[in-house]
Structure 1
């Protein structure tokens, strides 16, 4: 068996490929971890009406407000919702000219800090960099700011949506019945959430609810709805009614869809949500979300660092063993570009055939090895005749092809086959002995 020593460029190429693969795995893991934290962006909206100058005090105070929201999202006691406002001076010479900037976030308590921080990094959206009103929705949070008070108000104009790529088809379901069930379930949720007794804490599902029903023997429908906690019960019902009425326009027959506005949202799909209800503030509190996020990130960083170190150590060991092998057995190591060059099987047919005549065995030896070509030792039959199993006096097992006078194959075909077998060089193939 020959050992082949790779040239340095090839080895470096494989090392580069290994590290590239490792980097891709690390990136993929980070992406999945990010999505599991609810940091999947759904969309953004801005009024595109009034703007501010890039160097104005409004921009500076807006950044201060957003930083305050991010800081509050890091507190475990925020209840998944927080609103505040700040006053900014809009006149360069008269301090009396001022306006208020309002801001709020809505989030899932288990990922509040990570999600709100990601949303604030994306604010303002690129399509409204100087707009005074903007909204951004992620899978598990929403951040909103405006120069007009929105607290306790139902917004009926701003909508963000996300829909599945698969449209409901009559080939797989009763489409009319499916969307009829969607409307019924979401309307029931709107009625429930608008009831006065639904004003408990976040953990008591304040303005939040889910439903799931069986549509057919193989389809189950899952629905979800939520309102901003600053709304009155009746306004929550009004907001959800408005959003539900927009489903046909934005969802366009998709099997799953999500329509959101600054005051509420409604969602449906035919597979389970990856989360069901928000963490309860009435039960023992979770670990602080900020510490939890940092702790999780710290653990991930340590794990990835150890993984990289492991691969580097493994590569070093392999290179070391390769060097030892080269020093101990230099004669058995052949450069991959300096393999023995075997003559082509199609070169010099006569010379090739003559070179193997010295390998001939006498008939008596072959008869003795195959028990006189016994039918019991017959392995099969080819174009030139039958093939028999035999054992030479030295114990070597052989296969013997006995040429048939009735064969339609010519001498040239026989010579080519013999030359071909003689030139084959592979450990898993038979060797021509004679």
Structure 2
């Protein structure tokens, strides 16, 4: 049995972590390796590269550049310059002050990409993507000693691999993936996958009997996807479809019927870092001064203390809120101080327009904070209970909800439990029970 992931995103990480919290230890292979996979996750580009995994990552100002060129950067971003012209953007792995290079985007005279160099956790340039008129067309892969060992056409999937003094040609990515899994001698009797893209195609292509499982974490906003419908109507290796989205399962379960697959629900075993203490303290994390109904919320709730944290300089509009006795503002907040606020506050208000900052909603969810916001501002609605999502402009409704929550610690904890239920929180026993069904 094996986990085959398209990419190691939050959904894949949660699926793997849930298995392990339930005591289920299975190998995991990831197709799209960004160079920073966890140590126990396999990918072809990690195995075939033969990297020295004891080396540190590449610090941004150690990037090799031509003589007289400069590398300039701060905590959030960096660039390569020749005189006044910017030659490349430098993308960091994380915005955590370590400034480790993940990618260098080399620019043409119009500011578009010419190519992108991809770096890994140990500071190696392990891949390079070539662009043509703004479209990624080719990707080269490099080993730890610098030699190129693979070449991939991103338009048609054709791949050439030079390994162990032997050359292999694959007409599709699926062919390459099947080759790699079989060469590594993975047990392919039961493949667990969570997308209907490449990993789905690999499952369909495997020879021999098998009982594969699709874990479906994406919301169903319309009809059942065509590839899922195919699994329901055709006899394939996929025998089980597991829904991980709580709301979809309860809305769709009665409509699902198939002679070829069975259906189950299994959420995630999320980490619980602390308990909600029912304190009248609310956190807002934003890089925008566009905050829905903030004036109303702060004014009507004088007994609630509001911490407003910004990773960069704060606008005069936000600074003015510091005049309220129940507001503390944190311009240019340090990551350590922000982490402390996640422990000090028991409510998160996701009311800022613009991009989410540092995965705030997920971090608050793991801290058992009660999360509230508006349908126009919430960034990750899967972690927010429907009853805590309000229409734009309904500031008084959100205020009333906070007042209800703070009447008693038992009330806010009941709301948090509802929030976790709708996010798909399950127990290790739940997990093991469903896995027994999948492996019969």
Q: What TM-score do you get using the length of structure 1 for normalisation?
A: 0.20
Structure whose alpha-carbon radius of gyration is higher: 1
Higher helix share: 1
Greater relative contact order, per chain length (Cα 8 Å cut-off, separation 6+): 1
